[in-house]
Every structure is written in structure tokens, then in C-alpha cells.
């Protein structure tokens, strides 16, 4: 009855720097790398903000809809080529 579905094969390419990551892994790494996760307090003590709040900050910075969730446009923005300087200073 059904047309056979073509199986998507994912290959680990030798020497490839970018590893296959889930969107959530990508998001966490992105939010940390660009300064959205860490918040420095007046005392100098650093703490992590929630992923949802960090996502909202990132979405605001990038001019995306502030949903606080890892939606399609946010993932696309995280995969886009960019400068390596963090967006949020510590």
C-alpha cells in the first residue's frame, strides 16, 4: 500500500569538525558560547539562567519572535554563519 520510505542515512564524515547534534544540544552550546546562559551578579558570582530565559534573550537580540522555545526560526538562526564574539558580555 505504501510507497517505501527512503531511509535517511547519516554518516560521520572523517575530519568533520561539526558533529551531529540534536537541536537541543546545539541550542545549549550556542546559548553558552554566546553568553546568553551565564549571568554575572554584582557580587561577581556567576549563575546560569534558565534555557527559556536565555532563549528569549537570544531571540530578542536576533530580532526573532520571543517565544522562549526552540522553534524553527531560532534553530535556523543558531545554524547561520556568524561572528564568534559573544553577544552578551559577562
Can you give the binding site for another protein, defined by CB under 8 A? 9-11, 13-18, 20, 34, 39-40, 42, 57, 60-63, 77, 79-85, 87-89
Residue 42 CB contacts under 8 Å (≥ 6 apart), including other chains: none
Detail the DSSP E strand segments found in 12-59.
38-40, 46-48
When the beta carbons of 1 and 43 are compared against another protein, the nearer one is: 43
When the beta carbons of 55 and 57 are compared against another protein, the nearer one is: 57
Minimal distance in Å, beta carbon 69 to another protein? 19
Distances (CA, A) of 37 to 13, 24, 40, 55: 31, 14, 10, 9
Minimal distance in Å, beta carbon 16 to another protein? 7
Amino acid at each position: 500500500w505504501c510507497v517505501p520510505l527512503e531511509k535517511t542515512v547519516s554518516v560521520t564524515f572523517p575530519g568533520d569538525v561539526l558533529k551531529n547534534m540534536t537541536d537541543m544540544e546545539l541550542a545549549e552550546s550556542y546559548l553558552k558560547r554566546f553568553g546568553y546562559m551565564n549571568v554575572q551578579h554584582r557580587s561577581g558570582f556567576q549563575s546560569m539562567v534558565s534555557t527559556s530565559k536565555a532563549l528569549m534573550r537570544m531571540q530578542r537580540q536576533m530580532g526573532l519572535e520571543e517565544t522562549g522555545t526552540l522553534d524553527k526560526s531560532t534553530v535556523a538562526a543558531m545554524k547561520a554563519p556568524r561572528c564568534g564574539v559573544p553577544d552578551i558580555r559577562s
